[in-house]
């Protein structure tokens, strides 16, 4: 399959550069999804548009057999691109700084290869909107697609993510937690405002906030089991309007990360307790949580299958476990609905390393046929039941 993938390398690169030059933010992927749908229809796929708002679902094959889904996210980030390349973003302030342009191109490449094959069952492509951000209800593209029935009848789901810190020709894959679940929290600490010269007549919300922040920063270190990976971070603290007035309130917000829902529940409880300190010191606090995507858990069977494929195509020395981390990835919503796994694909530009979510993010396009081949070959082996014990 790797050889066939190299035969369409130019087409994959062209797709990637086209998407890169025309980035669109979450739930606004109108041009991207239209082009994806048109390409898939040319290949003979049965296409559904506007799934999960701006997503595309495409099926090839017959009902009654196994079904594997291949997912690619399509959205860009609100970043001004700093690269001076022919395919530079034409939408100033919007950029494919997380590699979703290449994810979409590689999935189209896999769709092209699979359209030439015969197999039992069905392959389904999930071109997902808005992995990077939630809608007005804080819900991102993956759960929106799940709610629209995108994974109904799916027996396995696979995906990839580019990794600009890893050399081309290497991938990472392993079973277990691959990224963290993420929730956001927002709070207002209420005191009593007054003149900065008479603090004894006020209830200073900054004073309350300091004690709350100490408690928040102690949650992971002193309240959670040391063997439970978790993060509680403060991202914003806003209050006041001039130097000699103590305000009536301050606003504070942050993020929490976890890999176990039991730990998620405990963190919510501990954050609530932390804000109760404001009441103990004479103030009040209003707190709300915004539930984000769940942890992304790579299941054992799909992880092993991807590993076997990668070893056969690239060699054992080029396949290593996924480095642990608590970054968020809403593919976990799909793997909650069906067993699945995501691998990371080395795309490093030698001598000029780039970083995800950075204005200079770019990748070595020699990696594109590699990712394409692994996706297509994994799907074929699953459908043909060619897995090794």
Q: For the whole model, what pTM was predicted?
A: 0.93
364 within 8 A of 168, measured Cβ to Cβ? yes
CB 119 within 8 A of CB 381: no
CB 132 within 8 A of CB 24: no
Average pLDDT over residues 342-362: 95
The residue among 212, 255, 220 whose CA lies nearest residue 235 is 255
The average pLDDT across 49-77 equals: 97
CA distance 214 to 231: 14
Mean pLDDT value of segment 305-318: 98
CA-CA distance, 247 to 249, in Å (whole number)?
6
The vertex-148 CA angle with 147 and 153, nearest 5°, equals: 90
What domains are defined for the chain? 2-178+296-383 (3.40.630.10), 181-291 (3.30.70.360)
Number of C-beta neighbours around residue 311 at 10 A: 16
Q: How far apart are CA 144 and CA 370, in angstroms?
A: 29
| Rounded Cα distance, 297 and 176, in Å | 5
The answer to whether 293 and 182 have CB atoms below 8 angstroms apart is yes
- Only one residue has tokens 């700093």, namely 82
What is the per-residue pLDDT across 315-351, written as a single tens digit (0 to 9) for each? 999 999 999 899 889 999 999 999 999 999 999 999 9
SS3 at position 249: strand
Mean pLDDT of 62-74: 96
pLDDT at 353: 81
Burial class (CB in 10 A: 0-12, 13-18, 19+), 351: exposed
Q: Which residue has the tokens 């069906």?
A: 338
């Amino acid at each position: 399959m790797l050889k066939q993938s190299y035969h369409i390398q130019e087409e994959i690169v062209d797709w990637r550069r086209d998407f890169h030059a025309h980035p669109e933010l979450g739930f606004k992927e109108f041009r991207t999804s239209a082009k994806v749908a048109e390409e898939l229809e040319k290949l003979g796929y049965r296409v559904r548009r506007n799934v999960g708002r701006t997503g595309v679902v495409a099926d090839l094959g017959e009902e009654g057999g196994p079904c594997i889904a291949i997912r690619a996210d399509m959205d860009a980030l609100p970043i001004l691109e700093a690269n001076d390349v022919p395919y530079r973003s034409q939408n100033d302030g919007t950029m494919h700084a997380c590699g979703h342009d290449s994810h979409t191109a590689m999935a189209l490449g896999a769709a092209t290869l699979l359209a030439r094959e015969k197999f039992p069952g069905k392959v389904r492509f999930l071109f997902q909107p808005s992995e990077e951000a939630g809608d007005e209800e804080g819900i991102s593209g993956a759960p929106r697609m799940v709610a629209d029935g995108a994974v109904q009848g799916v027996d396995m789901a696979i995906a990839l993510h580019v990794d600009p810190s890893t050399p081309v020709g290497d991938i990472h894959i392993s079973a277990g937690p691959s990224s963290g679940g993420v929730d956001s929290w927002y709070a207002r600490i209420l005191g009593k405002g007054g003149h900065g010269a008479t603090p004894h007549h006020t209830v200073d919300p900054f004073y309350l906030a300091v004690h709350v922040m100490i408690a928040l920063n102690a949650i992971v270190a002193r309240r959670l089991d040391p063997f439970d990976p978790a993060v509680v971070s403060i991202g914003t603290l806003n209050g006041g309007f001039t130097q000699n007035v103590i305000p009536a309130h301050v606003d504070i917000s942050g993020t929490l990360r976890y890999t176990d829902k039991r730990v998620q529940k405990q963190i919510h409880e501990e954050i609530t307790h932390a804000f109760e300190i404001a009441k103990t010191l004479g103030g009040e606090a209003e707190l709300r949580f915004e539930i984000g995507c769940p942890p992304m858990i790579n299941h054992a069977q799909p992880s092993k299958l991807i590993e076997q494929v990668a070893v056969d195509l690239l060699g054992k020395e080029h396949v290593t476990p996924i480095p642990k981390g608590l970054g968020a990835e809403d593919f976990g919503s799909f793997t909650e609905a069906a067993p699945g796994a995501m691998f990371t694909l080395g795309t490093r530009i030698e001598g000029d390393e780039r970083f995800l979510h950075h204005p200079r993010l770019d990748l070595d396009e020699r990696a594109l046929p590699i990712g394409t081949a692994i996706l297509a070959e994994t799907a074929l082996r699953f459908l043909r039941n060619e897995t090794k014990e």
